[in-house]
Structure 1
């Protein structure tokens, strides 16, 4: 039996028109389809065929604007090279920054924890009450923001 290696790409979604304190209304399915359409535009049918097998949006947090994409090792280069060229997701103007490419989901979540702790430290000084701080911390450190329906559809 052959083991397939995966790469997990941690992406930051920067939307300059939406303030940082408001959550980004972004569905993982729309994000997933936008990345695939950009790969189609840049690499054609070969790129889409290489990436489609094993391509999932594993995690998407609207508050910190971070997403994790899973791709097979090898074709992950198509994904990482096409991410900077995505300027629109749906009708929202965005810029995507690749933060981390890891071999395991565990290491990506460790990286995200460090990144989100830094985010919490910068935004806590702007909040006035402890209740607002607890709500923000719960939303930021929630790692269950994944759209299971799209992930089940794409499992082969």
Structure 2
């Protein structure tokens, strides 16, 4: 049996027509379709055929706007180049920023945790009570739904 290597993209979705603090209700199928459309536009049928095997959107968080996309090693270059050209994701006018590319979900989770802790420190500077800080920490660092997918 042959082992297939995967690459995991940690992405940030930046919607231009939705306020930053509003949740972005995206279904992973919308993100999948937007990235596949960009691959089709840039690399044609060859790019779609190469990248479709093993390509899946693992996670998409509405509050933090962070997602995890898995693809095979090799075609990950086609997927990564096409993500820069995504203009619409579902009903939203948005673009994708790649934060991290990892080989394992474990390293991706570590990166997301560190990234969210940095954001938490930035947001907690404006909060006064410990209850508000605890509620924000619980919301930002909640990765239960992601870790259950392993």
Q: TM-score range by the shorter chain?
A: 0.7 to 0.9
Computed over aligned residues only, the root mean square deviation of the Cα atoms, in angstroms, reads 2.0
Match of 1:90 in 2: 90
Q: Tell me if structure 2 keeps the 8 A contact 1:15–1:95.
A: yes
Unaligned runs of 5+ in 1: 152-156
What is the correspondence of 1:61-100 to structure 2 with a 5 Å cutoff?
61-100=61-100
CA 32–128 in structure 1, closer or farther in 2 if over 3 Å, else same: farther
Describe the SS at the equivalent of 1:58.
Answer: strand
Give the paired residue count.
Answer: 148
Structure 2: segments with no counterpart, 5+ residues: none
Higher mean displacement: 131-140 or 81-90: 131-140
TM-score normalised per structure 1: 0.85
Report the alpha carbon displacement of residue 19 of structure 1 after superposing the two structures with TM.
Answer: 2.7
In the alignment, does 2:27 pair up with 1:27? yes
Superposition misfits of 4+ residues, deviation over 4 angstroms: none
* Paired position in structure 2 for 1:142: 142
| 1:154 match | none
Any residues of structure 2 matched to 1:6-155 within 5 Å, and which? 6-145=6-145
CA–CA distance in 2 between the matches of 1:49 and 1:11? 22
Secondary structure (helix, strand or coil) at the match of 1:17 reads: coil
Using the TM superposition, give the Cα deviation of residue 95 of structure 1 relative to its aligned residue in structure 2, in angstroms.
2.1
